[in-house]
Protein backbone atom coordinates (compact mmCIF):
# COMPACT_ATOMS: atom_id res chain seq x y z
CA UNK A 1 0.00 0.00 0.00
CA UNK A 2 1.22 3.51 -0.72
CA UNK A 3 2.85 5.63 1.97
CA UNK A 4 1.52 8.98 3.12
CA UNK A 5 3.60 12.08 2.44
CA UNK A 6 5.62 13.57 5.31
CA UNK A 7 3.53 15.66 7.67
CA UNK A 8 0.38 13.64 7.06
CA UNK A 9 -1.39 11.15 9.30
CA UNK A 10 -0.34 7.65 8.22
CA UNK A 11 -2.80 5.00 9.42
CA UNK A 12 -2.34 1.43 8.22
CA UNK A 13 -3.74 -2.07 8.57
CA UNK A 14 -1.66 -4.37 10.76
CA UNK A 15 -1.20 -7.98 11.79
CA UNK A 16 -2.96 -8.03 15.14
CA UNK A 17 -2.92 -10.37 18.12
CA UNK A 18 -6.40 -11.60 19.06
CA UNK A 19 -7.75 -13.64 21.95
CA UNK A 20 -8.83 -17.14 20.95
CA UNK A 21 -11.66 -17.05 23.53
CA UNK A 22 -14.77 -14.85 23.92
CA UNK A 23 -13.81 -11.28 24.75
CA UNK A 24 -16.34 -10.51 27.48
CA UNK A 25 -14.21 -11.88 30.32
CA UNK A 26 -10.75 -10.89 29.05
CA UNK A 27 -11.16 -7.18 28.15
CA UNK A 28 -10.89 -4.38 30.72
CA UNK A 29 -11.05 -0.58 30.89
CA UNK A 30 -7.88 1.37 30.04
CA UNK A 31 -5.11 0.93 32.59
CA UNK A 32 -5.21 4.48 33.94
CA UNK A 33 -8.88 4.58 34.96
CA UNK A 34 -8.66 1.50 37.19
CA UNK A 35 -8.18 1.57 40.96
CA UNK A 36 -6.11 -1.15 42.61
CA UNK A 37 -9.35 -2.77 43.81
CA UNK A 38 -10.72 -2.82 40.27
CA UNK A 39 -7.48 -4.31 38.94
CA UNK A 40 -7.79 -7.13 41.48
CA UNK A 41 -11.40 -7.69 40.47
CA UNK A 42 -10.56 -7.97 36.76
CA UNK A 43 -7.66 -10.30 37.54
CA UNK A 44 -10.12 -12.54 39.38
CA UNK A 45 -12.55 -12.62 36.43
CA UNK A 46 -10.12 -14.56 34.23
CA UNK A 47 -6.47 -15.69 34.36
CA UNK A 48 -6.29 -14.33 30.81
CA UNK A 49 -7.76 -10.89 31.47
CA UNK A 50 -5.71 -8.18 29.78
CA UNK A 51 -5.05 -6.39 33.10
CA UNK A 52 -2.49 -9.10 33.82
CA UNK A 53 -0.51 -7.42 31.02
CA UNK A 54 -1.56 -3.77 31.28
CA UNK A 55 -1.30 -3.46 35.08
CA UNK A 56 1.57 -5.73 36.20
CA UNK A 57 2.64 -3.46 39.05
CA UNK A 58 6.42 -3.20 38.82
CA UNK A 59 6.85 -6.71 37.40
CA UNK A 60 7.38 -5.62 33.81
CA UNK A 61 9.49 -8.68 32.96
CA UNK A 62 6.69 -10.85 34.31
CA UNK A 63 4.25 -9.19 31.91
CA UNK A 64 6.60 -9.91 29.01
CA UNK A 65 6.96 -13.57 30.02
CA UNK A 66 3.19 -13.88 30.36
CA UNK A 67 2.65 -12.42 26.88
CA UNK A 68 5.09 -14.95 25.41
CA UNK A 69 3.43 -17.82 27.30
CA UNK A 70 -0.02 -16.82 26.08
CA UNK A 71 1.33 -16.86 22.52
CA UNK A 72 2.86 -20.31 22.96
CA UNK A 73 -0.30 -21.70 24.55
CA UNK A 74 -2.66 -20.19 21.96
CA UNK A 75 -4.41 -17.82 24.36
CA UNK A 76 -3.42 -15.09 21.90
CA UNK A 77 -3.14 -15.84 18.18
CA UNK A 78 -1.66 -13.84 15.33
CA UNK A 79 -4.02 -12.78 12.58
CA UNK A 80 -3.34 -14.30 9.13
CA UNK A 81 -3.04 -10.96 7.30
CA UNK A 82 -3.03 -7.20 7.94
CA UNK A 83 -6.40 -5.66 8.71
CA UNK A 84 -8.14 -2.64 10.19
CA UNK A 85 -11.08 -3.11 12.54
CA UNK A 86 -14.44 -1.41 12.87
CA UNK A 87 -15.48 -1.18 16.52
CA UNK A 88 -19.16 -0.48 17.29
CA UNK A 89 -20.35 0.41 20.80
CA UNK A 90 -24.07 0.38 21.63
CA UNK A 91 -25.08 1.86 24.97
CA UNK A 92 -27.71 3.92 26.76
CA UNK A 93 -26.60 7.46 27.59
CA UNK A 94 -27.68 8.91 30.92
CA UNK A 95 -29.61 12.20 30.72
CA UNK A 96 -27.69 15.37 31.53
CA UNK A 97 -28.71 19.00 31.94
CA UNK A 98 -30.00 20.13 28.56
CA UNK A 99 -29.22 16.77 26.95
CA UNK A 100 -31.67 13.86 26.87
CA UNK A 101 -30.49 10.34 27.48
CA UNK A 102 -31.28 7.30 25.37
CA UNK A 103 -29.72 4.73 23.04
CA UNK A 104 -26.47 5.69 21.33
CA UNK A 105 -24.12 3.98 18.88
CA UNK A 106 -20.49 4.98 18.34
CA UNK A 107 -18.21 3.79 15.54
CA UNK A 108 -14.41 3.63 15.88
CA UNK A 109 -11.57 2.59 13.59
CA UNK A 110 -8.73 0.45 14.97
CA UNK A 111 -5.43 0.64 13.02
CA UNK A 112 -1.78 1.46 13.54
CA UNK A 113 -0.54 5.05 13.31
CA UNK A 114 2.90 6.26 12.28
CA UNK A 115 4.47 8.10 15.20
CA UNK A 116 5.42 11.72 14.56
CA UNK A 117 6.44 14.47 16.98
CA UNK A 118 3.78 16.94 18.04
CA UNK A 119 5.69 19.70 16.24
CA UNK A 120 4.58 18.30 12.87
CA UNK A 121 0.96 19.19 13.68
CA UNK A 122 -0.38 15.76 12.72
CA UNK A 123 -1.15 14.46 16.21
CA UNK A 124 -2.44 17.15 18.54
CA UNK A 125 -2.21 16.94 22.35
CA UNK A 126 -4.53 18.93 24.56
CA UNK A 127 -3.40 18.05 28.09
CA UNK A 128 -0.15 18.26 30.00
CA UNK A 129 1.65 15.05 30.99
CA UNK A 130 3.74 13.97 34.00
CA UNK A 131 6.96 11.98 34.15
CA UNK A 132 5.78 9.17 36.46
CA UNK A 133 3.13 7.60 34.20
CA UNK A 134 5.46 7.83 31.20
CA UNK A 135 8.25 5.99 33.03
CA UNK A 136 5.81 3.21 33.97
CA UNK A 137 4.50 2.76 30.42
CA UNK A 138 8.01 2.95 28.91
CA UNK A 139 9.23 0.16 31.19
CA UNK A 140 6.28 -2.00 30.10
CA UNK A 141 6.83 -1.20 26.42
CA UNK A 142 10.54 -2.05 26.62
CA UNK A 143 9.88 -5.50 28.04
CA UNK A 144 6.73 -6.57 26.17
CA UNK A 145 7.65 -4.91 22.85
CA UNK A 146 3.95 -4.59 22.15
CA UNK A 147 1.16 -2.03 22.20
CA UNK A 148 -1.32 -3.53 24.63
CA UNK A 149 -3.87 -0.69 24.42
CA UNK A 150 -4.69 1.82 21.68
CA UNK A 151 -4.22 5.56 21.82
CA UNK A 152 -7.71 7.07 21.43
CA UNK A 153 -7.80 9.84 18.82
CA UNK A 154 -10.49 12.06 17.28
CA UNK A 155 -10.75 13.15 13.65
CA UNK A 156 -13.26 15.12 11.61
CA UNK A 157 -15.41 13.54 8.91
CA UNK A 158 -14.72 9.87 9.70
CA UNK A 159 -18.16 8.49 10.56
CA UNK A 160 -19.60 8.48 6.99
CA UNK A 161 -16.66 6.31 5.88
CA UNK A 162 -17.16 3.92 8.77
CA UNK A 163 -20.87 3.62 8.02
CA UNK A 164 -19.91 2.41 4.53
CA UNK A 165 -17.44 -0.19 5.79
CA UNK A 166 -17.63 -3.48 3.86
CA UNK A 167 -18.72 -6.76 5.40
CA UNK A 168 -16.18 -8.73 7.37
CA UNK A 169 -15.74 -11.31 10.10
CA UNK A 170 -17.40 -10.07 13.30
CA UNK A 171 -17.46 -10.91 16.97
CA UNK A 172 -19.72 -9.34 19.62
CA UNK A 173 -19.51 -9.21 23.40
CA UNK A 174 -21.11 -7.51 26.38
CA UNK A 175 -18.97 -5.32 28.63
CA UNK A 176 -19.75 -2.66 31.26
CA UNK A 177 -23.42 -2.61 30.30
CA UNK A 178 -22.54 -1.96 26.64
CA UNK A 179 -22.67 -4.13 23.53
CA UNK A 180 -19.47 -4.17 21.50
CA UNK A 181 -18.93 -5.53 17.99
CA UNK A 182 -15.56 -5.85 16.30
CA UNK A 183 -15.41 -6.32 12.51
CA UNK A 184 -12.22 -7.30 10.70
CA UNK A 185 -11.70 -5.32 7.45
CA UNK A 186 -9.27 -6.28 4.68
CA UNK A 187 -10.81 -4.88 1.46
CA UNK A 188 -7.97 -2.91 -0.12
CA UNK A 189 -10.16 -0.28 -1.82
CA UNK A 190 -11.95 0.71 1.38
CA UNK A 191 -8.73 0.68 3.43
CA UNK A 192 -7.08 3.01 0.92
CA UNK A 193 -10.10 5.34 0.97
CA UNK A 194 -9.92 5.60 4.76
CA UNK A 195 -6.16 6.14 4.72
CA UNK A 196 -6.46 8.88 2.09
CA UNK A 197 -9.26 10.64 3.96
CA UNK A 198 -7.42 10.63 7.28
CA UNK A 199 -4.07 11.59 5.75
CA UNK A 200 -5.24 15.19 5.35
CA UNK A 201 -6.75 15.50 8.84
CA UNK A 202 -5.24 16.36 12.21
CA UNK A 203 -5.77 13.79 14.94
CA UNK A 204 -6.64 15.05 18.42
CA UNK A 205 -5.61 12.81 21.31
CA UNK A 206 -8.68 11.99 23.39
CA UNK A 207 -6.99 9.52 25.77
CA UNK A 208 -3.39 8.37 25.82
CA UNK A 209 -1.11 11.42 25.98
CA UNK A 210 1.37 9.61 28.23
CA UNK A 211 1.35 6.48 26.06
CA UNK A 212 1.83 8.44 22.83
CA UNK A 213 4.85 10.27 24.22
CA UNK A 214 6.16 6.99 25.60
CA UNK A 215 5.80 5.32 22.19
CA UNK A 216 7.76 8.18 20.60
CA UNK A 217 10.56 7.69 23.12
CA UNK A 218 10.65 3.94 22.55
CA UNK A 219 10.68 4.37 18.76
CA UNK A 220 13.73 6.63 19.05
CA UNK A 221 15.45 4.08 21.28
CA UNK A 222 14.88 1.16 18.92
CA UNK A 223 18.09 0.55 17.03
CA UNK A 224 18.79 4.25 17.12
CA UNK A 225 16.16 4.92 14.47
CA UNK A 226 13.97 8.00 14.45
CA UNK A 227 10.19 7.35 14.51
CA UNK A 228 8.34 7.45 11.24
CA UNK A 229 9.51 4.40 9.29
CA UNK A 230 6.96 2.08 7.73
CA UNK A 231 6.29 -1.51 8.82
CA UNK A 232 6.50 -3.01 5.34
CA UNK A 233 9.69 -5.03 4.98
CA UNK A 234 11.29 -3.67 8.15
CA UNK A 235 12.34 -5.20 11.44
CA UNK A 236 11.59 -4.41 15.07
CA UNK A 237 12.84 -0.83 14.89
CA UNK A 238 10.56 -0.16 11.91
CA UNK A 239 7.46 -1.69 13.49
CA UNK A 240 8.15 0.32 16.66
CA UNK A 241 7.68 3.48 14.60
CA UNK A 242 3.93 2.82 14.77
CA UNK A 243 1.47 2.61 17.64
CA UNK A 244 -1.97 1.06 18.05
CA UNK A 245 -4.64 3.71 17.48
CA UNK A 246 -8.42 3.87 17.82
CA UNK A 247 -9.95 6.79 15.89
CA UNK A 248 -13.44 8.25 16.37
CA UNK A 249 -15.26 11.00 14.50
CA UNK A 250 -15.23 14.21 16.53
CA UNK A 251 -18.94 14.64 15.77
CA UNK A 252 -20.00 11.02 16.35
CA UNK A 253 -23.36 11.10 18.20
CA UNK A 254 -22.11 8.28 20.43
CA UNK A 255 -19.04 10.21 21.59
CA UNK A 256 -19.82 11.55 25.05
CA UNK A 257 -17.59 14.09 26.76
CA UNK A 258 -18.25 14.53 30.47
CA UNK A 259 -17.11 17.29 32.82
CA UNK A 260 -14.67 16.68 35.65
CA UNK A 261 -15.30 18.84 38.71
CA UNK A 262 -12.57 20.28 40.93
CA UNK A 263 -12.24 20.07 44.71
CA UNK A 264 -9.99 22.54 46.48
CA UNK A 265 -8.34 21.40 49.70
CA UNK A 266 -7.17 24.88 50.78
CA UNK A 267 -7.78 28.48 49.83
CA UNK A 268 -9.98 31.51 50.28
CA UNK A 269 -13.61 32.08 49.41
CA UNK A 270 -14.51 33.14 45.87
CA UNK A 271 -16.79 36.17 45.54
CA UNK A 272 -18.51 37.93 42.67
CA UNK A 273 -20.73 35.11 41.46
CA UNK A 274 -24.50 34.92 41.13
CA UNK A 275 -26.12 32.83 43.82
CA UNK A 276 -28.31 29.93 42.64
CA UNK A 277 -30.66 27.81 44.69
CA UNK A 278 -29.55 24.23 44.05
CA UNK A 279 -26.94 21.98 42.50
CA UNK A 280 -29.37 20.95 39.75
CA UNK A 281 -30.03 24.59 38.85
CA UNK A 282 -26.31 25.32 38.83
CA UNK A 283 -25.41 22.40 36.55
CA UNK A 284 -28.18 23.37 34.14
CA UNK A 285 -26.89 26.95 34.00
CA UNK A 286 -23.37 25.77 33.09
CA UNK A 287 -24.30 23.94 29.88
CA UNK A 288 -23.13 25.81 26.80
CA UNK A 289 -21.65 28.66 28.86
CA UNK A 290 -18.09 29.77 29.56
CA UNK A 291 -18.70 29.70 33.29
CA UNK A 292 -18.02 27.67 36.41
CA UNK A 293 -20.02 26.92 39.52
CA UNK A 294 -18.80 27.00 43.10
CA UNK A 295 -20.02 25.52 46.36
CA UNK A 296 -18.81 26.64 49.79
CA UNK A 297 -20.52 27.25 53.08
CA UNK A 298 -23.75 25.67 51.92
CA UNK A 299 -24.16 28.12 49.01
CA UNK A 300 -23.96 27.64 45.24
CA UNK A 301 -22.71 30.40 42.94
CA UNK A 302 -22.41 30.78 39.17
CA UNK A 303 -19.17 32.47 38.07
CA UNK A 304 -19.05 33.92 34.53
CA UNK A 305 -15.61 33.58 32.92
CA UNK A 306 -14.01 35.36 29.99
CA UNK A 307 -12.49 33.21 27.23
CA UNK A 308 -13.27 30.18 25.09
CA UNK A 309 -12.92 27.17 27.42
CA UNK A 310 -14.34 27.21 30.92
CA UNK A 311 -11.86 24.71 32.36
CA UNK A 312 -8.88 26.75 31.12
CA UNK A 313 -10.31 30.03 32.38
CA UNK A 314 -11.36 28.54 35.74
CA UNK A 315 -7.74 27.64 36.40
CA UNK A 316 -6.28 30.85 34.96
CA UNK A 317 -8.73 33.33 36.47
CA UNK A 318 -9.64 31.61 39.75
CA UNK A 319 -7.72 28.55 40.92
CA UNK A 320 -4.23 29.81 39.99
CA UNK A 321 -4.93 33.08 41.80
CA UNK A 322 -6.06 31.23 44.92
CA UNK A 323 -3.10 28.86 45.02
CA UNK A 324 -0.40 31.25 43.89
CA UNK A 325 2.91 29.38 43.70
CA UNK A 326 1.55 26.23 45.31
CA UNK A 327 1.39 23.09 43.15
CA UNK A 328 -2.24 22.63 42.03
CA UNK A 329 -1.90 18.85 42.03
CA UNK A 330 -1.21 18.92 45.78
CA UNK A 331 -4.33 20.95 46.54
CA UNK A 332 -6.82 19.70 43.96
CA UNK A 333 -8.92 16.54 43.79
CA UNK A 334 -11.22 15.54 40.94
CA UNK A 335 -14.59 13.87 40.55
CA UNK A 336 -17.20 13.45 37.81
CA UNK A 337 -19.91 13.10 40.47
CA UNK A 338 -21.22 16.57 41.35
CA UNK A 339 -23.09 15.29 44.40
CA UNK A 340 -19.89 13.69 45.69
CA UNK A 341 -18.18 17.08 45.36
CA UNK A 342 -20.84 18.64 47.58
CA UNK A 343 -20.37 15.86 50.15
CA UNK A 344 -16.62 16.49 50.23
CA UNK A 345 -17.17 20.13 51.10
CA UNK A 346 -19.90 19.42 53.67
CA UNK A 347 -17.69 16.84 55.40
CA UNK A 348 -14.66 19.13 55.51
CA UNK A 349 -12.54 17.06 53.12
CA UNK A 350 -12.45 20.08 50.78
CA UNK A 351 -12.95 23.78 51.39
CA UNK A 352 -14.69 24.44 48.07
CA UNK A 353 -15.95 22.69 44.96
CA UNK A 354 -15.82 24.02 41.41
CA UNK A 355 -18.28 22.66 38.85
CA UNK A 356 -17.94 22.63 35.06
CA UNK A 357 -20.15 21.85 32.11
CA UNK A 358 -19.03 19.51 29.34
CA UNK A 359 -16.25 21.13 27.27
CA UNK A 360 -16.93 22.23 23.69
CA UNK A 361 -14.92 19.80 21.54
CA UNK A 362 -14.66 22.28 18.67
CA UNK A 363 -12.94 24.71 21.04
CA UNK A 364 -10.70 21.93 22.42
CA UNK A 365 -9.60 21.14 18.85
CA UNK A 366 -9.07 24.84 18.10
CA UNK A 367 -6.88 25.23 21.19
CA UNK A 368 -4.87 22.11 20.29
CA UNK A 369 -4.27 23.39 16.74
CA UNK A 370 -2.99 26.64 18.25
CA UNK A 371 -0.52 24.65 20.37
CA UNK A 372 -2.29 25.34 23.66
CA UNK A 373 -2.46 22.71 26.38
CA UNK A 374 -5.19 22.40 28.97
CA UNK A 375 -5.08 21.54 32.69
CA UNK A 376 -5.04 17.93 33.81
CA UNK A 377 -8.38 16.11 33.60
CA UNK A 378 -9.94 18.70 31.32
CA UNK A 379 -11.84 16.10 29.29
CA UNK A 380 -13.35 12.71 30.04
CA UNK A 381 -14.53 10.82 26.99
CA UNK A 382 -17.12 8.06 27.36
CA UNK A 383 -17.66 5.17 26.89
CA UNK A 384 -14.03 4.10 27.14
CA UNK A 385 -13.01 1.54 24.49
CA UNK A 386 -12.12 -1.75 26.19
CA UNK A 387 -8.49 -2.80 26.19
CA UNK A 388 -7.71 -6.28 24.88
CA UNK A 389 -9.79 -6.37 21.70
CA UNK A 390 -6.67 -6.39 19.48
CA UNK A 391 -2.98 -6.06 20.43
CA UNK A 392 -0.05 -4.94 18.25
CA UNK A 393 3.26 -6.80 18.65
CA UNK A 394 6.37 -5.37 17.04
CA UNK A 395 8.01 -8.75 16.42
CA UNK A 396 5.71 -10.91 14.32
CA UNK A 397 6.17 -14.42 12.97
**Residue of 88 and 379 predicted with greater confidence:** 88
Mean pLDDT to the nearest integer, 303-308: 91
Contact 41, 49 (CB under 8 A): no
Tell me the per-residue pLDDT of 280-302, one tens digit each, with 9 for 90 and over: 999 999 988 999 999 998 999 99
pLDDT at residue 218 in the model: 93
Tell me the per-residue pLDDT of 102-151, one tens digit each, with 9 for 90 and over: 999 999 999 999 999 999 999 999 887 777 788 999 999 999 999 999 99
pLDDT at residue 326 in the model: 77
pLDDT at residue 233 in the model: 46
pLDDT at residue 353 in the model: 95
Nearest to 223 by CA among 236, 239, 233, 242: 236
Q: Which residues, other chains included, contact 6 with Cβ-Cβ below 8 Å and sequence gap of 6+?
A: 120, 228
On the question of pLDDT at 13 being above 80, the answer is yes
pLDDT at residue 6 in the model: 40
Please state which of the ranges 44-53, 73-82, 263-272 shows the lowest mean pLDDT: 263-272
pLDDT at residue 45 in the model: 97
pLDDT at residue 231 in the model: 56
Contact 389, 182 (CB under 8 A): yes
Count the neighbouring beta carbons within 10 Å of the beta carbon of residue 80.
8
Residues facing residue 87 across a β-bridge: 108, 182
Band (359; pLDDT cuts 50, 70, 90): confident
Mean pLDDT to the nearest integer, 20-25: 97
DSSP letter, residue 236: H
N-to-C CA span, the chain:
20
pLDDT at residue 224 in the model: 56
Rank 140-154, 325-339, 360-374 by mean pLDDT and report only the highest.
Answer: 140-154
What is the average pLDDT value for the chain, to the nearest integer?
Answer: 90
Tell me the per-residue pLDDT of 166-216, one tens digit each, with 9 for 90 and over: 999 999 999 999 999 999 999 999 999 999 999 999 999 999 998 999 999
Mean pLDDT to the nearest integer, 366-379: 85
Tell me the per-residue pLDDT of 228-276, one tens digit each, with 9 for 90 and over: 444 544 555 578 899 999 999 999 999 998 889 999 988 776 767 899 9
Contact 103, 90 (CB under 8 A): yes
Residues 108, 112, 114, 116, Cα dihedral to 10°: 50
For the entire predicted model, the pTM comes to: 0.88
pLDDT at residue 266 in the model: 81
The reply to whether omega before 240 is within 30° of 0 (cis) is no
On the question of pLDDT at 390 being above 50, the answer is yes
Using only C-alpha atoms, the chain has a radius of gyration, in whole angstroms, of 22
pLDDT at residue 235 in the model: 55
Amino acid sequence: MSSSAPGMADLRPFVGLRYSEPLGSVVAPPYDVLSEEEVAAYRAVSPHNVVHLTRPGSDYQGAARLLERWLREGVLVEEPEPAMYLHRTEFVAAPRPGRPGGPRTRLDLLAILRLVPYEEGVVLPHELTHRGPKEDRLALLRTTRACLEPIWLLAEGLRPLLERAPAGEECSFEFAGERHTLRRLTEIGWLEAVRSALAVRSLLIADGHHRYETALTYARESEGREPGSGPGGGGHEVAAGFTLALVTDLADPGLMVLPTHRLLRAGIAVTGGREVGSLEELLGALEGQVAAGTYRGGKFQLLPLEGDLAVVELHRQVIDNILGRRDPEEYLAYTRDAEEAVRWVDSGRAVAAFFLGAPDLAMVLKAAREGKTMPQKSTYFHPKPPSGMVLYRFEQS
